[in-house]
Structure 1
Amino acid sequence: MPRSLFPGQHCRVLIVDATTGATEVVFDSEETLVEAPNWSPDGRFLVLNGDGLLWRLAVDRRDARTEALEPIAMHGVPEINNDHVLAPDSRSVFVSGKDGHLYEVPWAGGPGRRVTRDHPEGRGYKNYLHGVSPDGTTLAVVVGSRPTPESTVDEWRTNLALVSVATGETLLVTDDVHPDDGPEFAPDGEWLWFNTERFTAGGRTGVPGHAQLARVPRGGGEPGRVVVSDTVDWFPHPSPDGSTLVFLSYAAGTQGHPENHEVVLRVLELHDGEPVPGAVPRDLLRLFGGQGTLNVSGWAPDSRRFACVEYPLPT
C-alpha cells in the first residue's frame, strides 16, 4: 500500500540553497504525500512519486493544493516506488516498479517500456533505480536478491549494478555480502557514489546501522571510503558542476533509511567531482523526514539549489 500522511502531518517540497541552507516551500499539503524530487534538465519542473504514481510539479507554482500536481501517464507500468530519474535529454523518465523491474516512460506520458530483463526464478530479484549516466545510456541500480533459491529472507543481499537502457543487460559493480545502496553517477560518468555498510564501526566491519559514503569506479574495483562519520549517511548526490556533494544523515545506529526521523542534510566540497583532501562535511539543514526526502538527485541544473521533501508532524 502506498505511504500516506498521519493526521495533521504536512508534506512540504522544499528548494534549498546549497550554500546557505535557506529554503523555499513550493508545495505544502496535509492530504498528499510525495517523495524524492528530481529537477528537470530545463529547470522548469520537479518530478515526484506519490500514491504509486508519477507526478510533475511546476517549480514556479506556489500551490499547496493537490491540483498543483500533474500526473504523468504510465500505461502498462505497475505501481512504482520512490526511485526515479530523468533522462538527460528530458525525453523520458526511468522508474522502479514494485514488481522489481525498471521502466522507461515518455516525459509527456504514454506507454511504458520495460528496461530490465527477466531474472532467475526463486531468488527474489528486485531492481532499485538511483542514477543515470551523463550520456543517458546506462542506469545505476541496486540489485537485491537471495544468493540461492534455498537462502532465507535474512540472507537477502544488495549490490550495485549498471543496466543498459537499450538492452537491459545488467553488470554487477559490487558482488559481496555488504549492504550497498544509493548509487549515483559522478558528473564525468566514470565513478559511482554510494552508501555502504562495509566499513568499520566500533572496531567491527559491516555493522548494521553504520552506512558510510564511498566511491567505486564504474567498471568495478575496491570501493574507497569518502567520509568518516559517527552518523548514518545515505544517498550521496554530486552537483551537476561537480562542486558539491549533498547527502542525508541519520543518528548513529539507525538501520536502513526509515521515514519520519530527525535527519540532517549535509554538504561536502568537491573539485571537478573529486573529493577535496581534508574537506569535511558541514550541516546545511535539519528537518523531519528520511525516506522520501532525498532518495534520488534533486539538484537544479544551475548546481546552486536542490529539491527535497520534509514531513513535519503537528506540534
Structure 2
Amino acid sequence: MSLPQSLPLQGLSAVVTGAGRGLGRAEALELARLGAAVVVNDYGQPGRDGSGEASAAPAEQVAAEIRAAGGQAVAHVGDVADFDAARALVDLATGTYGKLDILVNNAGILRDRMVFSMSEDEWDSVIRVHLKGHFNTTHFASVHWRERSKAADAPVYGRIVNTSSEAFLAGSAGQPNYAAAKGGIVGLTTSTAQALRKYGVTANAICPRARTRMTEDVFAGLAVPADGGLDPLAPEHVAPLVGYLASPAASRVNGQLLVVHGGMVAVVERPKVAAQFDSAKETFSYEELDGVLGAYYADRAPDETFAATDVLGLKRA
C-alpha cells in the first residue's frame, strides 16, 4: 500500500464491513491509502454461506497491514446483522477516532438456490446479513451524524457507500434471496440519501463486479491474465470508486447507483416510464387492457424481463 501525493481523506475515520477479504479488504486498504483511519470489520467465518466459527484473524490481518504501511486501523469482529454488534462497531469508531465520517457496507453471504427449492432459512439468512446488516450500521451512523449536526447547528461530514449487485438488475435466477436483498439495498440507499442530506451526509450504492470467494464459481471460466497483469475482475478496480465517493470531491454525488469493474464506471439512471396507456372511460376493462398491453408486448420474447436488464448489455435471466 503506497501513499498518494495528496491525502483527501486525511483526518477522517471510516468503518468498512466485511473487510477481512475480497472487496472489503481492497476498499479498507484504499481508504487508508487516501488518509482515513479505518475500523476493519469482519465476522471471520470461513464459509461464503456464513458457516463456520467466527475468527478475528481476517480483520486483524487487514488492520495490521494498514498499520504496517503507516496508516491507522483497528479491527472489529462482529456480525453486522446483529443490532447490538452494529452499535458496538460504530461506537468503536467514535470512541477510537472521536467521530465517524465514512461508512462502507460490504458484508454479505451467499446461499444460492432456485426459488422453488429455497428454504426459509436460506432466504432469511441472506436478507438478514445483506439488507438488515446494511440497515443496522446505517442506523447507528445516521444517529451519530444527526446528533453531531444538531449539536453544531450545522451540517457535518458523512459518507455512506453501500454494496448492491447487478444480480438485482439482471434477475439472477438462482439467487432470489440475494437479488431481493441487493434491490432492497438500493431502496435503502436512496431513502437514506434523501433523509440525511440536510445533515451533510451522502449515500450512494455501487454494483461491483469482482473475483472474490463470493463469485469464484461465477467467474471460474474467466482466466486471470497469464502475463501477470492486473486481473480485469480484481477488487482493486472497485476500490478507487469507493475512495472517491467517500471523499470531499464527491459532495454532489448523492442517491446514485454506479456499476464498476475492470477500469469502467457506469452511472445507472432511475427507472423510466417506457410506455403509458389511458383508459377510454373512467377505468380500464379487461378487454381494453388486453388490447393495449397485448399489442405492446406482442413482439417481446417470453424471456425478456424488466427493462433494467438492458443495462450494460446484460443478458436476461
The answer to whether TM tops 0.5 is: no
Q: Which has the larger radius of gyration?
A: 2
Flag the structure with higher strand content: 1
Q: Which has the higher helix share?
A: 2
What TM-score comes out, normalization by structure 2 length?
Answer: 0.31
